[in-house]
Every structure is written in structure tokens, then in C-alpha cells.
Copies of this chain bind each other. A is one copy, B any other.
Amino acid sequence: MLNFQKTKIDDFAEIWRIYKNVIKNGDSYLDNLAKTDKNYAKQKWLNSSSINIIAKLDNKVVGFYSLRNNYKDYGSHVANGSYIVNPDFRQKGFGKKIALHSLDEARKAGYKAMQFNFVVATNIAAIKLWQSVGFKIIGTSPKSYQHQGLKKLVDNHIMHIFL
């Protein structure tokens, strides 16, 4: 049974280790590890103006996510989210549980919709996961991601769900 809590500073060492491990591939996140420092990561996953949640199983970190306004002021009823699933816990259905938890949290916080501005089009697992919980692709940004594995520009999808 996954245990969801707010991220705490004590979680940061493990968050930083997993985050680095995931972004180093340059196949699904915008972050270039060489340009990413601890302070940026701490701000991203622990700041107090976002909803930052960590999911654990037997005290091991399965994943974590961060919700915030997708846009300011007159667009602030739409949430945006960032997610990391620990590679050690992939393909076990945990991603979907974390996704559903985040939709509930966004709803509780009063958001009316959630939007991702950047889902790498070659990241089929992520696209299928988000579609399985109800997201739709509402647009595609052509050649907007510098895929490090494929060594070429690939498309990004914009994905959206009403809450």
C-alpha cells in the first residue's frame, strides 16, 4: 500500500538521487543534468508554494510529484504537474496510483483542470499512462525537444484533463 505524504527536507537526499538518475537520460524531461544543481531541485520538489507529495512503500521512495498553477492569475484554475517515478518501481502500476492521487489533490485544491505543456512524443509509456486516467492530447509542438538518446529533435504533446 502506497503511503502519500508531503515532501520533507529529510526526503531530499533520496529525491535528489532518483531525480538525477531519471533526468540523466535526456529522453523525457527538459532538465539537462549538467546544468541542474541541488538548489534548483530542492526548490522544484520542496518549495512551499506548490503541492509537493512523495509516495513511499515500506519507507522506500516510489515516486514524487509537484503541482502548481499552469499559468498565473486568469489562468490559475488550471494545474500543472511534474512527476518522477523511481526506476526501481516502474511497470508495477505505481505510476497510475500516483497519477490518480495527484488528480485528487488537484481537485481538492480547487483546480478545474490539469495540463502538461511538454510530454515527449516518444515517451509512449507516459502518454499511455496519462491517457489511461483520462488525459487527452490537445496539441502537438513540433520538434521542440532535444532528445539525447535519439540525438534528434522530437515532438512534444500538450495533454489536458478536466477535473
Contacts and interface: CB of A to CB of B under 8 A. Distances in A.
A122 interface: no
A46 B50 CA distance: 27
A26 B158 contact: no
B30 A75 contact: yes
B115 A141 contact: yes
Interface in A111-148: 112-113, 115, 117-118, 138-148
A71 B145 CA distance: 9
Contacts of A92: none
B138 A141 contact: yes
A144 B72 contact: no
B26 A113 contact: no
A158 B158 contact: yes
B142 A160 contact: yes
Contacts of A144: 70-71, 75, 77-78, 113, 115
A132 to B, nearest CB: 20
A35 interface: yes
A153 B113 CA distance: 12
Nearest to A26: B74
Interface in A54-108: 70-75, 77-78
Q: 3 tightest A-B contacts by CB?
A: A139-B139, A32-B73, A74-B146
